[in-house]
Structure 1
């Protein structure tokens, strides 16, 4: 799943786009987390594939997509996906975004440059205050620690990326995570989101607090909050069968 696909030009680079699932089904765009790839959605996608047309995109620098020359910021990723989705000519689609992908999904919906039918934001910050514990994690994590935790993911990246340089990508990603200007987290702009929003949070998420998830749901009119007990930041990979029924119930409430 998600092994084949095509490259779409977005300014200074090319993004890899892969499809799976039911070609006649409702369209869901899958946006992965930082330093991951489209492949991390496979466990969930196996549950979605029967009924939905799935479009998984490698963020610039990740998976098979080139890093390009632009700075890696959430604003840049928003612009990338806006152009890509427009180029693909998608008229109706929902978005499931995990972590960085969820942050970008929030920015996309808030900007209204594209009009998703719904957004499911999983383990995603909408703001990152200076005193947020996640900032300390981002400030202290280093390349060797990351290699120790996610060596197998890096090996796949080195195999499939056209110009692999994980050290460069790691530095760019950590700088993005620590950003605090208008190019970073969506902040108060999430109030502009008009499409249905489901905020999904793992109660044992070491990066995103329960309060952060609750506050995001409170910012957006009509938003729903799904807090999963005993679930970590990687809940979509760890327990897709448990999460899938809730996502399906939410999507069924959104008119097709």
Structure 2
């Protein structure tokens, strides 16, 4: 799954886009987390593939996508995905975004550059205040620690990427996580979101607090919150069979 695909130009680089699932089904765009790739959606995609047409995009610098010359920011990723979705005629698709992908999904919906049918944001910050404990994690994580935890992912990246330089990507990603200007987290702009929003949070997520997820839900009119007990930041990979029924219920309710 997600082995084949095509490249879409976003100006200074090309993004890899892969498709799976039911070609006649409702379209769902999958946006993965930081330093990951489209492949991390496979556990969930196996549950979605019977009913939905799935479009998985590798973020610039990740998976098979080139990193380009522009700085890695959430605004840049928003612009990249806007180009891809517009080029493919998918501006009104549903979006499931995990972590960084969820942050960008929130920015996309708030920008009105595209009009998602719905957004499911999983383990995603909408703001990251200076006193948020997650900043300490981002400030102290090192390439060596990441390599020790996710060596297999890095090996896949080195095999897939057209110009692999994980050290460069790691530095760019951690800088993006710590940014706090208008090009970073969506912040108050989430109030502009008009499409149905489901905020999904794992109660044992070490990066995104329960309060963060609750506050995001309160910011967006009509948003729903799914807080899963005993679930971690990687809940889509760890327990897709438990998450899927809730996602399907949400999608069914907001698209019928």
Give the TM-score normalised by structure 2. Answer: 0.99
Match of 2:213 in 1: 213
Match of 2:121 in 1: 121
Determine if the alignment matches structure 1 residue 150 to structure 2 residue 150.
yes
SS state at 1:254 partner: helix
SS state at 1:28 partner: strand
Is the Cα–Cα contact under 8 Å of residues 85 and 91 in structure 2 kept in the other structure?
no
Matches within 5 A, 1:42-53: 42-53=42-53
Match of 1:225 in 2: 225
Match of 1:29 in 2: 29
Separation in 2, partners of 1:189, 1:220: 10
- Residue deviations 1:91-147 (CA, integer Å, cap 9, x gap): 531000000000000000000000000000000000000000110000000000000
Separation in 2, partners of 1:208, 1:90: 29
- Residue deviations 1:144-194 (CA, integer Å, cap 9, x gap): 000000000000000000000000000000000000000000000000000
Separation in 2, partners of 1:52, 1:104: 21
Q: Give the deviation of 1:30 after TM superposition.
A: 0.0
Q: Runs of at least 4 residues of structure 1 off by over 6 A?
A: none
Match of 1:243 in 2: 243
Matches within 5 A, 1:63-212: 63-90=63-90, 92-212=92-212
- How many residue pairs align between the two structures? 256
Separation in 2, partners of 1:211, 1:92: 30
SS state at 2:150 partner: helix
Gaps of 5+ in 2: none
Determine if the alignment matches structure 1 residue 14 to structure 2 residue 51.
no
Q: Give the deviation of 1:90 after TM superposition.
A: 1.8
Is the Cα–Cα contact under 8 Å of residues 13 and 68 in structure 2 kept in the other structure?
yes
Gaps of 5+ in 1: none
Match of 2:252 in 1: 252
Separation in 1, partners of 2:25, 2:92: 11
SS state at 1:7 partner: strand
Separation in 2, partners of 1:255, 1:215: 25
Separation in 2, partners of 1:120, 1:6: 25
SS state at 2:102 partner: helix
SS state at 1:185 partner: coil
Q: Give the deviation of 1:89 after TM superposition.
A: 1.2
Separation in 2, partners of 1:98, 1:61: 17
Separation in 2, partners of 1:250, 1:101: 19
